[in-house]
Chain A
């Protein structure tokens, strides 16, 4: 069965600090996709990134970067120079070949000014 673990329930940082959100997954499929979503206080989850299981290249988008390592089954998310607007709940998700998505419990990030 597929499983996503976000061990950090809550993280609090001060603005401009770097922060890494951890995501560890379990799957028996060789083909799968990993996602990160952001849920601001307004409620709707916002898609941030998708990674397929055959592409281990790290990705950078502005202040956001993602580190995908199949050897440790991890897909970690780093925010550089955090800002107050980054405060949200962040979800890691896994989709297997059958198409069902499993979300982690989420990490609540609070960035203080």
Chain B
């Protein structure tokens, strides 16, 4: 089983829908991350959680709401999205939260907002 799993792999939603993305890591890591990857932009860090506490929120619109119930699970709740939010959303984890640690990524959720 891969270390970091994400569900669903593909999601199409209307602008008025509410949906959630799920990430689970099986590596015993203490930090988890959400990234947005658009076609014409580099990887954008959205949120960082360390030991289930949010340690970073990079000016992400409130229509994205993260939740980290435990160190193995991370959710991204979506509501009232815009078409420009269509992107690949990547989850990652690392052994700790700090500059030294490499990150392990999931396969991503391809989100299309119609």
Interface residues, chain A, with chain B CB atoms under 8 Å away: 31-33, 35, 37, 42-47, 50, 52, 91, 95-101, 103-106
Contacts and interface: CB of A to CB of B under 8 A. Distances in A.
A99 B98 contact: yes
B66 interface: no
14 contacts: A37-B105, A43-B108, A44-B2, A44-B4, A45-B92, A45-B105, A46-B105, A47-B103, A47-B104, A50-B100, A95-B100, A99-B97, A104-B42, A105-B42
Contacts of A37: 103, 105
Nearest to A45: B105
A44 B107 CA distance: 4
Contacts of B43: 91, 103
B107 A42 contact: yes
Given A31-B99, A50-B102, 14 more contacts: A33-B99, A33-B100, A42-B107, A43-B90, A44-B105, A44-B106, A45-B90, A46-B105, A47-B103, A96-B99, A98-B99, A99-B97, A101-B103, A103-B43
B107 A43 contact: yes
A100 B59 CA distance: 14
A101 B43 CA distance: 10
Contacts of A103: 42-43
Which A-B residue pairs are the 4 nearest by beta carbons?
A: A95-B99, A45-B105, A103-B43, A47-B102
Contacts of B103: 37, 45, 47, 101
B53 interface: no
Contact of B100 (A43, A52, A91, A105): A52
